[in-house]
Amino acid sequence: MRYALATFLVAFALLVSLALQHSFGNPFWFFFSVAVILSTWFGGTGPGWLSVVCSILAVMYYFTPPLRSFAVTPGDLPYFVTFVACEVGATQLISWRRRTEDGLRQARDELEARVAERTAELKNANDALVKQMEEQKRTEETLQATRAELARAARITTIGELTASIAHEVNQPLAAVVANADACVAWLFRETPDLAEASAAAARATEGATRASDVIARIRSLITKATPEKSSLQINRIIEQTAILAEGQAARNGVAIKLELAPDSPTVLGDSIQLQQVILNLVMNGIEAMTSVDDQPRILTVQSQTENGEQIRVAVLDSGIGLSEEVKGRLFEPFFTTRTSGMGMGLSISRSIIEAHGGRLWAESNGSSGSTFQFTLPKDNGRNA
């Protein structure tokens, strides 16, 4: 193709030269130089040389005397040699220029390829890094989940053991109550009722019931501790600490905890662990109450405020499902729970704690927009910390 182009260019130069030599005089061969330059430029070294040879032959044949022969007269020799030198020079120059350009182009292509290669390598490295980071994040999440699971399992085990032992402790006197009550009835309904036996059995039934209630009281005092260790506490600090404790659980359930704390940082006299336990319990209940809420943001608000300058009110508001009247009436009963897990002791114990602190704990339903659990504590006006 490139050689055909060279041949065509030389032939064209020949025709133009032949056509124009009548007007411009003899010999007229400048167009061959143009043909050689173009051939070398577009065709490369090989076609360049071909055009040179063809041009020389054409000039020898058509333009140097004797015309129509390949011979050159000695008088025309220097002229002809100059022509040949010009042609060779032109093709050399152009082909050198071309080679340089090719070299440059190749170098550029190589550079581009290497840049692309490096870019790809970098991208791979980056991908690997991202993957590794994801992996690490997953591992951390798994670790976190495992830890939480472990903690939960430990808690459940403790609760399970506690429940089993409570169940046994309570069931035993109840069994006595049932046996003695049945015996009492049996003595009364004999053909000749035996009142002495019946009343003895009834007395034992009463004794059993008393024992059962003692067991409950004992458990409660065990959990709430008999004597709280009271010190002067900033209630806001306790709320903040509790909020941090509950953060993980809140985040996992998509709940935002909002604190609206009293600006005067009131202090109370109390047991910090117990009060934290109460607030945490209320916060956890609130989070739990919102797990089924999907149509509005899950926001848990903890407020503290001073009332009448002498008592502090702490309120935990959730945007959950609220409380039905039936549930509300039984909330603070021991062992009452609406959950499948849990012992139902939390609120009952919380109320005992708050009452031991000279306060009050109660619940209000905010209709369909959730519920509020709040407690009051006497403000520590004496020896402020």
Partner 1 sequence: MKEQDPVVFVIDDDRMIRDGLQSLIRSVGLRVETFASAQDFLGAKRPDAPSCLVLDVRMPGLSGLDLQLKLRDGGIPTPIIFITGHGDIPMSVRAMKEGAHEFLTKPVRGQDLLDAVQKALTSDRVLRQERREASEIRARFESLTPREKQVLELVVAGLLNKQIADQLGMSELTVKTHRAHVMEKTQAESLAHLVRMSEKLKNAERK
Residues that bind partner 1 (CB under 8 A): 167-168, 171-187, 190, 194, 197, 200-201, 204-205, 207-208, 211
Of 5 and 179, CB closest to partner 1: 179
Dihedral pair phi/psi, residue 229, rounded to 5°: -90, 105
H or E stretch at 196: helix 195-224
Nearest residue (CB) to partner 1, 183 versus 245: 183
- Which residue's CB is nearer to partner 1, number 181 or number 327? 181
How near is the Cβ of 164 to partner 1 at its closest, in Å?
A: 8
What is the spatial distance between Cα 245 and Cα 287, in angstroms, rounded to a whole number?
13
Secondary structure (DSSP) of 106-161: HHHHHHHHHHHHHHHHHHHHHHHHHHHHHHHHHHHHHHHHHHHHHHHHHHHHHHHH
Nearer to partner 1, 76 or 207 (CB): 207
- In 3D, which of 240, 247, 154, 169 has the Cα closest to residue 208? 169
Please report how close the Cβ of residue 219 comes to partner 1 at its closest, in angstroms.
17
Task: Report yes or no: 322 and 290 within 8 Å, Cβ to Cβ.
Answer: no
Peptide bond between residue 47 and the one before it cis (omega within 30 degrees of 0):
no
* CB of 159 vs partner 1, minimal distance in Å: 16
Structure tokens at 80: 């002809």
Residues 6+ apart with CB under 8 A from 193: 187
By the 10 Å C-beta count (0-12 exposed, 13-18 middle, 19+ buried), 9 is classed as buried
377 closest CA partner among 228, 221, 222: 228
User: Minimum CB separation from partner 1 for residue 192, in Å?
Assistant: 11
CB of 205 to partner 1, least distance (A): 8
Give whichever of 88 and 202 is closer to partner 1, judged by the CB atom: 202
- By beta-carbon proximity to partner 1, the closer residue of 57 and 164 is 164
What is the Cα–Cα distance from 63 to 69, expressed in whole angstroms?
9
Nearest distance, CB of residue 186 and partner 1, angstroms? 4
**Minimum distance of partner 1 from residue 155's CB (angstroms):** 22
CB of 321 to partner 1, least distance (A): 33
Going from the C-alpha of 208 to that of each of 163, 165, 177, 180, 265, the distances in angstroms are 20, 17, 5, 9, 50
Instruction: Supply the minimum distance, in Å, between the C-beta of residue 188 and partner 1.
Output: 9
Paired sense of beta strands 267-270 and 256-260, if any: unpaired
Residue 173 or 346 having the CB closest to partner 1 = 173
**Looking at beta carbons only, is 204 or 230 nearer to partner 1?**
204
**In sequence order, which residues have a C-beta less than 8 Å from that of residue 105 and are 6 or more positions away?**
none
DSSP tag of 63? I
Residue closer to partner 1 (CB basis): 140 or 161: 161
CB contact burial 120-140 (16+ within 10 A = b; e otherwise): eeeeeeeeeeeeeeeeeeeee
In order of 45, 296, 361, 372, the CA distances from 323 in angstroms are 96, 17, 16, 9
Q: Which residue has the tokens 């840049």?
A: 115
CA-to-CA distance for 303 and 288, rounded, in angstroms?
Answer: 19
Nearer to partner 1, 174 or 245 (CB): 174
- Smallest distance, Å, CB 211 to partner 1? 7
